[in-house]
Amino acid sequence: MTHQLSSPDFHGEEKSEQVTSIGQIKPELYRLRGGDQGEGKTGDNCGKISFLLRYAFNTEQLVVKILKAVDLAAKDANGFSDPYVKIYLLPDRKKKFQTKVHRKTLNPIFNETFQFGVPLAELHSRKLHFSVYDFDRFSRHDLIGQVVVDNLLDFSEGTGEKPVWRDIVEGTAEKADLGELNFSLCYLPTAGRLTATVIKATNLKAMDLTGFSDPYVKASLICDGRRLKKRKTSIKKNTLNPTYNEALVFDIPHEDIDRVSIIIAVMDYDCIGHNEVIGMCRVGSDAEGPGREHWTAMLANPRKPIDHWHQLVEITLNKMTRTGGTLS
């Protein structure tokens, strides 16, 4: 099991960086491309990151403390970025940690500690992957750069008190990592009732500056391009791994079951602005891939809940262009 240790909020230490004067030259905007690439990878230097690394033999955990980053690339029009860091212990990408977002700075101080459970015998084959991102509330987050640290067995011999510095190098943006949703489908042909039980979600995309989201799940019943009904779960506050175990019920006559599909959207609740779509998936006889397989398994096993995991994808709600209508 992996878990995040508590860490203090150091946001106050970055305020001095936000004060600029008119006409001040920002060296980071004129940085020469190329130079020392640290890990020997091709790409442009995008700043440096500092961290502490040690291995806890008694608990078999790799302990990582992200200290700070300096001279990050500016991604926003104001000459700054809103940086945060994701870390993975490769090759496992299912388990990840993420720091808080720091606003309007190219030199964020994080001071956040994370732990990865890994046996000592496996340490030589694992790599620590840092991805530094620029947070954007309304669009995909920009990848500033990344660092890969191997030879982790060497760090197990140290005390973890000496900061490690690595160059952040430009990399290819990862496929949108929106998270996964686990839900079951159960259809009762005689009653004409379909129950979608939303179980839980994992690794959701962070939509708020806290590094978390306030997710809820909305299921929409679609027939011939029209949204007939919608159901919602409760809202789970400040989490990227919510657990629901909530049933969403739709009445669908058996003769219409092949005409319908269900679009399931994971939403981020916002008490002030508009609720944002984190990601979506679709199940039905005309769905693709896992969505069709899940639907087919449900129909082949009436009255039995069939649960599947679904990768969330970027689909806009504009696909549901019409509302209203009835089933026969």
More confident residue, 174 or 215: 215
Number of C-alpha atoms within 13 angstroms, CB side, residue 178?
21
234 vs 237: CA distance, rounded Å: 10
Query: Identity (one letter) of the amino acid at 130?
Result: F
- 216 closest CA partner among 261, 278, 272, 308: 278
Report pLDDT for 4.
44
Query: Identity (one letter) of the amino acid at 273?
Result: G
Q: For residues 255-276, give the mean pLDDT.
A: 88
Does the pLDDT of residue 109 top 90, yes or no? yes
Mean of the per-residue pLDDT values of the chain: 80
| pTM confidence score | 0.52
DSSP β-ladder status, 180-188 and 193-202: antiparallel
Report pLDDT for 106.
92
More confident residue, 74 or 241: 241
Residue 114's φ and ψ, nearest 5 degrees, are -135, 155
Q: Where are the domains of the chain?
A: 47-168, 179-312
Does the pLDDT of residue 262 top 90, yes or no? yes
CATH of domain 179-312: 2.60.40.150
Q: How buried is 299 (Cβ within 10 angstroms: 0-12 exposed, 13-18 middle, 19+ buried)?
A: middle
Is 47-168 a CATH 1.10.3720.10 domain? no
Predicted confidence (pLDDT) per residue in 138-179, tens digit: 666 788 888 988 888 887 777 778 899 999 988 765 555 788
SS3 127: strand
Which range in 42-51, 210-219, 314-323 is most confidently predicted, on average pLDDT? 210-219
Predicted confidence (pLDDT) per residue in 174-190, tens digit: 555 788 899 999 999 99
Q: Are 115 and 3 in contact (CB under 8 A)?
A: yes
Q: For residues 20-24, give the mean pLDDT.
A: 41
219 vs 52: CA distance, rounded Å: 44
Q: What pLDDT band is residue 75 in, cutting at 50, 70 and 90?
A: confident
Predicted confidence (pLDDT) per residue in 195-205, tens digit: 999 999 988 88
- End-to-end CA, the chain: 50
Query: Identity (one letter) of the amino acid at 219?
Result: A
Q: What pLDDT band is residue 1 in, cutting at 50, 70 and 90?
A: very low
Residue 259's φ and ψ, nearest 5 degrees, are -95, -10
Q: What pLDDT band is residue 288 in, cutting at 50, 70 and 90?
A: confident
SS3 267: strand
Percent of the chain with pLDDT over 70: 77
